[in-house]
Every structure is written in structure tokens, then in C-alpha cells.
Amino acid sequence: SFKMAGRQKWGKRFDFLLSIVGMTVGLGNIWRFPYLCYKNGGGAFLIPYILSVISIGFPLLFLETSFGQYVGQGMTKAWGMVPLMKGIGLANLMITWYANSLYGVVLAWAACYFVKSFSLILPWTTCSNIWNSDNCVELSHTSVNLSTNNATTPIGSGDSENSVDSISSAVEYWENYILKESPGLEHMGGVRWELFCYLIGLWIVAYFCIFKGIKWSTKVVYVTSTLPLVMLVVVLVRGVTLDGAAEGIYFYLNPNMTKLGEPQVWMDAVTQVYYSYGISGVLVTLASYNKFNHDIYRFGMFCLKYVISSHNKPHNPRDSILISLVNSGTSFISGFAVFSTLGFMAKQQNISIEEVAESGPGLVFIIYPQALSMIPHPHIWSALFFLMIIFLGFDCLFVFQECLVVSIMDMFPIWYSFKWGREAIQAMFVLLIVGMATPMVTEGVLVYWLTLYKPLEYKSTVYPVWAQVLGWCLGLSSCLWIPV
């Protein structure tokens, strides 16, 4: 058949392993897990998290990879063996498409910060730029005495009660320069052409890294999946040597056992496991490139030692457990890197760590740039940090894009018979994703956040009903395929 003649298989024993590690170890390990751990009882949060990994994360990882390996098809066709469940594959396809549209935008933000790290003066540290307001306060090594209230007010993320009349230069750089926020979602404003160019450039690079399929992309993944881990270790080593790092780490891990009685803590643990393990059909597609008899279960650390000592034997890494260990271990270790740096920042400004602890884009694009600007040689550390973010995002982008392409080709296997069939489908998806991502680099707020369950707010302002409806339509456009 067309499909059997043209479908690729992993070439080496580590290709599958590194591709999944690159996909599962992503931005959530850096900007989400450490904050959840601090917010939900410090070290006590590890109890529901580890239980969730054991009871949910590893079993579903093993289930999806085994399923994909058995059927040998992408997420859209794999569920065809259970006709009633075919909608799950289409739902997975939509989720992956939306996720990749967002990832490109996040990478464009990170690329902008990376390039600006080579400026003579880091632009988020000063208030002398055209995007700064009269309320801008420059970053410093100590607390800032604001003339508006003659009080010592910390520089945080801009939401502090005491900083109503002042905004840190890092916040203004993020909101007024990077996002160039409009008054509301109904005012889309113009396209941020600088971000749009970064978006186009990143997708051009991505296309030429993956347009030939896994035979080509795995060569890149060997770098992009391992280099961020090395960079994370470098950032960690530098972080724990800073003054105030011990206080930050204590704040990160200090156990509050009473939190375990709150249902939300357990929900956050389960959600983080789903979020970081990529339980969405992508694993099915990646495993479909395995040989049918590939041992996906065997324990990884023993086998890694075995592989190193005897390359000529036919055993493969014991993938599932090793992937779980690397993913969860990276999340845990990244917390030390993040909170050691935040502890340093808090001590330099003579404020509590609670005032600088954030998650999501606020941590990566506001708080961390502030902290890095206080370290000697800030340009180097800033460039290193944002290069790590770019590599972490690229891994997910590569994998998601491959899953989108092969899912369509599995649905219409005649494309395997065309000489440039894969390249054409790949280019089509790149254009579609760039088109979908373009509104996210305008001066309006992110479409992605409209899919959140509770009514969307931004700075205590509730979005209009039409925006809420739009968000629900986006969310339902994926999950409705299952009942349909």
C-alpha cells in the first residue's frame, strides 16, 4: 500500500527516546511546576505529584506508546480500530494544531529577548525608552524609594498593591514593547512586525529541520533535547551560588502538610502530570514509528548502562520509565534553578520571595529577566536562559508538527506515493499555523487563554461575552469530535 511503502521508522535506538524526552521536557517544567510546588505546600506537593506520576503519568505514557506501536499509525487513524472512538484522534489533531500555533508565538517572544540580550544595555532594565511611561521604575540591586508615596516599594511583576503608581521597567518592556497591549481584545491593533518576522524566521528554520520527516528531524533533536538540560544545569549551578539562594530553595520546598487536605492541590498535581507528559495523542504518533517488537517497557537506567557497555547487542533503552524519570526529574531540578535565583532577587531588593514568585509567561519574561539583570555579566546569562527556552520550545514544535503531518498522510495515504508529498503537506501546515498565530502577534491578548474554564480576566477586567464565546468555540472545536 501507499502507507506501508512510504512510512518511516526510527533509525537508531535512541531516536524515539530523545524525541519523546524533547517533547515532554518543555516550558511547563520551567515555568509551571516550580510555582505549583511552592503554591501547594512546597515539599508536601511532591506527595500528590509522585502519586499522580505513578498512578496516571507512567501508565498513560505506557498505554499511548504501546497503542501507537501496535497499530503503527498516527493519532487520527490509530483510533480507527475502535470505530466509536475515532473522534478522539480528530480531537487530538485539533489540540496539537492549536498548541503548535501558540508555541511559535512563545518562541518568537523568547527569540526577541535573546537578540536583545546582546544589546549594550539590556532594554528591560531602563526607563529611557520610547515605550516607557512616567510611572516606570528602573531595576536596581536594592529597593526603590518611590517619590509618589515616600515608601520603599519592591519591584515585582507590577501587580503589587504598593506599586499601583509605579511599574518596573521589565513589566513595561513586556507589556508596552513585546506585547504592545491594546486597550482590549476588541481593539486588535496592528501586527507587531518585529515579532511577526521572528515568527516567520523560526518557522522557516523549523520547516527545513523537519520537512524530510523523522530521518532528518532526529538529527536536530539530538541537539535540541540534550542541550537545554545542559543549560539548565549551568543555570542551576550559577543560581545556587548566589546570595539568598538558600532562602529561595527553602521557600520552594518548605513542606506545609495541611495543604494536602485541599482538593485543588491534588487537581494541580494531576493536571501537571497530564500537561508535562503530553497525554494528547502525540505519544501515539511517535510510537507508531517503532518496530512492532520494540520493548517499550524495560527499565531505563540499567539498560542505558548496558547499551554503553555493549553497543553490538540488540537491546533498546527501557523507554517508558526512563522518560518518566527524566521528565519529572527535570521539573523538580528546575525548581532549584528558579527559586535560587528568585531568592537572590528578593534578598537584593529586601523583599519577600512571595512578591516575586510567579508562573507562566510572567516568570520567564518579567521576573527572570529582572533577576538575571542583577547577576554579574547579565548579558551572557540572559542570552543563555532564553536560548534554553527556545530549544525547549523547538523540541515540542518539531514533534507536534511531525504528528500533524503524518496524521494527515495516514488519513490520505496516497500522499506517500508523491515525490514531494510530505514536503507539500508540511508547507501547508506551516502556512496554516502561521496564519493562525498571526493574530497572537497583534496588539490584542492571546486567543489561547480564551479556552480557560472560568471567565477570562486581565488585570481584573472581565472580557466581553463575545470573547468568552469565541474561547469556548475554540475549545469545543477539538473535544466535540469525540461525541460527534
Residue-wise pLDDT tens digits, 74-126 = 888 888 888 888 888 888 888 888 888 888 899 999 999 999 999 999 999 98
Higher pLDDT, 143 or 323: 323
- The confidence band for 156, taking pLDDT boundaries of 50, 70 and 90, is very low
> What's the domain range around 199?
13-139+166-302+317-456
Q: Is residue 418 situated within a structural domain?
A: yes
How many domains does the structure of the chain reveal? 1
Annotation-wise, does 22 bind a ligand?
yes
Secondary structure (H, E, C), 252-263: HHCCCHHHHHCH
Annotation-wise, does 392 bind a ligand?
yes
3 state SS of 168? strand
pLDDT of residue 182: 65
Q: List the single range of 3-17, 91-105, 216-230, 358-372 with lowest mean pLDDT.
A: 3-17
pTM: 0.78
Phi and psi (nearest 5°) for 358?
Answer: -140, 170
Q: Is residue 8 situated within a structural domain?
A: no
- The confidence band for 155, taking pLDDT boundaries of 50, 70 and 90, is very low
Phi and psi (nearest 5°) for 381?
Answer: -70, -35
- Distance, first Cα to last Cα, the chain: 29
Q: Is residue 462 situated within a structural domain?
A: no
Annotation-wise, does 327 bind a ligand?
yes
pLDDT of residue 32: 83
CATH number at residue 19: 1.10.4160
Annotation-wise, does 147 bind a ligand?
no
Q: Is residue 467 situated within a structural domain?
A: no
Q: Is residue 3 situated within a structural domain?
A: no
Q: Is residue 308 situated within a structural domain?
A: no
Query: How far apart are alpha carbons 34 and 3 in whole angstroms?
Result: 43
Q: Is residue 148 situated within a structural domain?
A: no
Higher pLDDT, 318 or 446: 318
Phi and psi (nearest 5°) for 23?
Answer: -75, -40
Annotation-wise, does 137 bind a ligand?
no
Give the DSSP letter of residue 442: B
Residue range 401-438, pLDDT digits in tens: 888 888 888 888 888 788 888 888 888 888 888 888 88
Annotation-wise, does 276 bind a ligand?
yes
Q: Is residue 484 situated within a structural domain?
A: no
Cβ-contact 156, 163 below 8 angstroms:
yes
The predicted model gives 353-361 an average pLDDT of 73
How high is the mean pLDDT of the chain? 79
Annotation-wise, does 225 bind a ligand?
no
- The confidence band for 201, taking pLDDT boundaries of 50, 70 and 90, is very high
